[in-house]
């Protein structure tokens, strides 16, 4: 966990393609979305979902703007304070700290031949999720996937490809 945090402390910006999948929960639904993400640390990011539905989430370091063209509205909210930024997306944007905010355990059953996996359990209870599984490349420590499990038993996974850093 400390090595991953140290690596990401040195990254100023990155971009990637992503697939966001969600399955389970009370309604036993399954969805799969895709798009691109661009992050400039600290705190600025843009998530563009392209399929199956278009939507955008933009953070400028102070505010988060959520735009779903079908709804024809923008929802604006504040970015959480530094010590409250424990969601996976905010970690990617340079908010929060793995070692400080989570207890980490190595997961052998979630690892693949291309990744190692850590189960990150928040040190203080989070309303949005129970734990986070971070899958990283064992050599470069690049994040390949982030999976969260919510209180209803649903799992949300962001899988990253075509990752470019410090451009």
105-128, pLDDT tens digit by residue?
988 775 667 888 999 888 888 777
Quote the tokens at residue 154.
């649903």
pLDDT band of 95, cuts 50, 70, 90: low
Residue 149 confidence (pLDDT):
86
Which strand ranges, in their side-by-side order, compose the sheet holding 44-51?
A: 73-78, 63-68, 55-60, 44-51, 29-40, 13-24, 155-165, 143-149, 131-136, 116-122, 102-107
Residue 151 confidence (pLDDT):
78
Residue 111 confidence (pLDDT):
61
Q: Considering the chain, what percentage of its residues have pLDDT values greater than 70?
A: 86
pTM of the model: 0.84
């Amino acid at each position: 966990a400390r090595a991953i945090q140290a690596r990401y402390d040195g990254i100023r910006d990155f971009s990637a393609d992503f697939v966001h999948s969600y399955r389970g929960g009370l309604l036993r639904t399954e969805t799969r979305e895709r798009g691109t993400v661009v992050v400039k640390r600290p705190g600025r990011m843009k998530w563009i979902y392209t399929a199956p539905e278009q939507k955008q989430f933009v953070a400028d370091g102070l505010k988060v703007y959520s735009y779903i063209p079908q709804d024809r509205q923008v929802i604006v909210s504040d970015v959480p304070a530094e010590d409250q930024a424990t969601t996976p997306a905010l970690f990617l944007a340079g908010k929060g700290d793995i070692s400080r905010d989570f207890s980490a355990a190595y997961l052998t059953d979630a690892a693949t031949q291309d990744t190692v996996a850590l189960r990150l359990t928040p040190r203080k209870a989070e309303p949005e999720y129970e734990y986070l599984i971070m899958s990283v490349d064992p050599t470069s420590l690049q994040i390949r996937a982030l999976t969260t499990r919510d209180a209803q038993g649903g799992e949300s996974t962001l899988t990253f490809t075509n990752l470019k850093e410090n451009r």
